[in-house]
Amino acid sequence: MPSVPNPVRLLIVGIGLALSRVGLLDRERAVRTADLAWPRVVTGIARMSKNAVDVAMVGIASGTVAITGVGFAGPFWGLAFALGGGIAGGTIALVSQRFGADAIESLGLAVRSSALLTVVATLPVTALFWLFPTELISLLSSNAEAIDLGAKYLRIVGLGVPFAGLNLIGSRVLVGSDDAYTAMVLRASGAIVNIVVNAALIFGLGMGVEGAALGTVLSNIVVTSAFVIGLSRGTLPGIGAFPVTIDPFGPFVDFATLRDLVEIGLPVMGRNLVWTVAEFPMLAILDSFGPDVVAAFVIARRIWGIMNTPGWGFGLASSSLVGQALGKNDETLAEAYGNEVIRFAVATYLVSAVLVALFARPIVLGFVNDPSDPAVPIAVDLVYVACFAVVLQGVSGGSAGPLDASGDTRWTFGSQFVGMFLGSIPLAYIGSVTSLGLVGLYLAFVAETSIPAALNYYRFRTGPWKAVSRNYRPEATADD
């Protein structure tokens, strides 16, 4: 792993070493976890910051109604990550176990099958967004201006859905092969390209929300091309060697591999869809509060996304390290990694939450051009609540990592479904129709993370995921 003078790396490594000094982590495992986690956290910060900057640029250029329009289009765009992320969940489980067992040929087959499934699953979504953007946004709001802006954004950004899904596959291949750094460089670079292109299109050419959408599409195409070239050749100019080389002309269809990808990936896809689908009723409920609350919620969720980036790193680090241990049939080491990543993640989330809470109002003001905008105080309060709720996400995501690595993904889907549809959504609705008001929305934030945290941790501690993993492990190699 290259030595990079990155403040995120220094912070995460520092937290890990501090925890190891007090006996909460094994020092060697802490360093290895940090080495895999920090690049993914940087990637998350870059991508979530890109999303936040998109909203800020649109808000400054076109006002809070444009933020509302983009916010209504957000969950539709999230379908790309729900579909692609579901398949990628199967990818990292298969890749990490095959990488750990040195079964490179079947690893390549898993990657090609994942890419095929992603394209097949996402192309219909692109067609839907292109043909019916206004009708889709109209499902969430009756605000004509917000519908118009949201539809313009959705129609164009839908062209990037297949590429966004393939980017997730490429990233999981590298992380599952013990190389989170290269994945970070590619995806974070894509986020930077996105910001630069958006600035040129939104402010330079005056394209507004359409410029934001087009910038997203172009950046995803660039990153997908980099993954394809790098994985096919085993190296990428300016980046260096990749940990694995995938023959792009090998077989794409193997029914056993496709079955494993679907069995593991469908629950992950369902879990991701819970987040995405839940945004539809949530935004419809928020619409009844008024446009200021919708804009405040969109702003708070973008900030939440940045705070939640430790989970990107620790969840994938856990999936990779636990999966590799399971591939070597070392269940004791797999459980040790799982336990320690949960502690590591919670400590890091605490640091993130404290930093954001201290600067909540200045951060919110970066999204609007008028400090007296009525959405500002609402957004600030939502950010404070998010700072509390996001710490529980460390438990939820950290516990989900071993379950994902083992193939025990139905449980994490169920926990997220219960948290969102039996906890978060009902509480928000109660707030919208009773005197509870915005307090219901605050409670919804907490329910969204506390319920999955309790359920996922229970599943991890009781241990059935180990037995589940035996159904997906590769055959032992000669070295075993």
Residue 1 in any domain: the answer is no
Q: What percent of the chain has pLDDT over 90?
A: 14
Residue 444 in any domain: the answer is yes
Higher pLDDT, 404 or 431: 431
Is the pLDDT reported for residue 243 higher than 90? no
Q: Phi then psi for 241, rounded to 5 degrees?
A: -75, 145
Q: Of 72-86, 184-198, 263-277, where does the model show the most confidence?
A: 184-198
Residue 477 in any domain: the answer is no
Residue 439 in any domain: the answer is yes
- Which residue, 304, 292, 280, 307, is CA-closest to 428? 280
User: Three-state DSSP class for 393?
Assistant: helix
Residue 241, H or E segment: strand 240-241
| Residue 317 belongs to domain spanning | 7-469
Per-residue pLDDT at 10: 84
- Which residue, 256, 235, 229, 226, is CA-closest to 113? 256
What number of residues does the chain have?
480
Residue 246 CA to residue 256 CA, distance in Å, equals 19
Binned at pLDDT 50, 70 and 90, residue 90 comes out as confident
Residues in a beta bridge with 240? 236
Residue 479 in any domain: the answer is no
- Segment 313-340, tens digit of pLDDT: 887 788 778 878 887 888 888 888 888 8
Residue 2 in any domain: the answer is no
Residue 236, H or E segment: strand 235-236
Is the pLDDT reported for residue 283 higher than 90? no
Residue 163 in any domain: the answer is yes
Residues in a beta bridge with 241? 235
Q: Of 79-83, 396-400, 435-439, 451-455, where does the model show the most confidence?
A: 451-455
Residue 475 in any domain: the answer is no
The number of domains in the chain is: 1
User: What pTM does this model have?
Assistant: 0.67
Sign, CA dihedral 406-408-411-412, equals positive
